[in-house]
Amino acid sequence: MISDPKSNDAELTMIVVDQISAMIAYWDKELMCQFANAPYLKWFGKKKEDMVGRITIRELLGPKLYEMNLPYIQAVLNGKVQTFEREITLPNGDKRFTLANYFPDIENGEVKGFFVQVADIHDLKLLEKDLTLSNQIVSDQNKRLHNFANIVSHNLKSYSSNLASLLQMLHSAESEEEKNEIIRYLTDLSNGFSGTVNHLTEIVSVQNLRDKDHVACNLLSFINKIIEILKIQIENSGAVIRHNINPELILHTNPIYLESIILNLLTNALKYRHPGRPPLIELNARTERQQIVFQVKDNGLGIDLKKYGTHLFEMNQTFHGNQDANGIGLYITKYQIESLGGFIEVASEVDAGSTFSVYFKGYEAGVTTE
């Protein structure tokens, strides 16, 4: 008897989804569970046959937690993406901190249900609480904690945005080949998310971010990681990214800061692209006076530096009217660069584009950019 290829593909897809570290589920508009992957089932101590098509989200969460989550449920059923933290009591009585994302499933303008993605951030939250207590003693450490919170919020937003797009694409995919390709993207995204959370956990566990968190970082590897994170935005915008980075260029710095700096600069180059042409982003690096100079050049909207130059890196400053602009990215970037002993410069022309130059200390002697 010949097996059904579609059935085999569906089984393979389910196996891959169950291997993803993130907890994923789908609830219809009647709040009945229609899908839950293996990590989601394990987290709540449920079996698939007792969960899918048999339990509502209220029954799963219990009355108290359901009422706490109800505003987010109502909002996602109105078509709005939701992200929030929650402490959940497990069936064994243990309490764990989580980061939850709700993404509406919209078809022909109607919300059919919503996807749920939950990440276990318990260890990170405990470390964050310990750091908060210790930082009450020193005002400088308080500033670092505030910056850390901004990093978490700003960086993870990229993962949430990509995850929402991929889940919607998965739901709309017509062929098993498309589904398997999207599943591969989901796996890569999940691995990237886990790596970022691990880096954040390491940062919270040390007392001095400036001195103790510097390690050898391959600049090109970090750039490639960020390009993978932003893959959906890059493809959707038709952007072309070119780089001239020595693959052996090593920078001794804080890895989570380096990742955040590159992510913010590339995200801005994509976000503020010119509507009249495809985005072209060029990345370069060179050594100059005991420093590495990393440049991000784009052909986007550009900035009127005569008008906005003195406010460019201030918090809550936006200049192009984008709805998704929050005025945090460049503020965080400048703070991180200066914390590492470097500085940032910008050259820009309206309707022509911008070039951001980041001056890093700590390059490895003997490595050139030629």
Q: Mind listing the domains of the chain with CATH numbers?
A: 5-201 (3.30.450.20), 214-361 (3.30.565.10)
- Judging by DSSP bridges, how do beta strands 280-288 and 240-244 pair with one another? parallel
Residue type, 54: R
pLDDT value at residue 225: 93
Question: Is the pTM here over 0.75, yes or no?
Answer: no
Q: How far is CA 289 from CA 82, 86, 363, in A?
A: 47, 48, 11
Cβ burial, residue 273 (10 Å; 0-12/13-18/19+): buried
pLDDT value at residue 325: 45
pLDDT value at residue 183: 83
Tokens representing 230 are 């932003």
Cα 105 to Cα 343: distance, rounded to the nearest angstrom: 43
Say what angle helices 255-271 and 219-229 make with each other, to 10 degrees.
50
pLDDT value at residue 93: 81
Whether 203 and 256 have beta carbons less than 8 Å apart is answered as yes
pLDDT value at residue 152: 66
Residue type, 204: V
Q: Which of 23, 24, 9 is nearest to 179 (CA)?
A: 9
Helix count (H) and strand count (E) of the chain?
A: 14, 12
pLDDT value at residue 102: 96
Q: In what order do the strands lie in the sheet with 343-349?
A: 240-244, 280-288, 291-298, 353-361, 343-349
Q: CA Rg, the chain, in Å?
A: 22
Say what angle helices 176-204 and 139-172 make with each other, to 10 degrees.
170
What averages of pLDDT result for each successive group of 10 residues across the chain (370 residues)? 52 72 90 92 90 93 93 96 88 85 94 92 82 58 59 66 77 82 79 66 47 81 93 91 93 90 93 92 91 95 83 62 57 84 91 94 55
Position of tokens 């108290």? Answer: 64
Write phi, then psi, for 361 (nearest 5 degrees): -90, 160
- Distance between alpha carbon 226 and the CA centroid of its chain, in Å? 10
Q: In what order do the strands lie in the sheet with 33-36?
A: 33-36, 23-28, 110-120, 95-107, 82-89
**Which residue intervals of the chain are DSSP H helices?**
5-19, 38-44, 48-51, 57-61, 63-77, 122-135, 139-172, 176-204, 209-212, 219-229, 231-237, 255-271, 305-308, 329-339
- Distance between alpha carbon 262 and the CA centroid of its chain, in Å? 13
Tokens representing 210 are 């400036």
pLDDT value at residue 87: 87
Angle at 258 between CA 257 and CA 262, to 5 degrees: 115
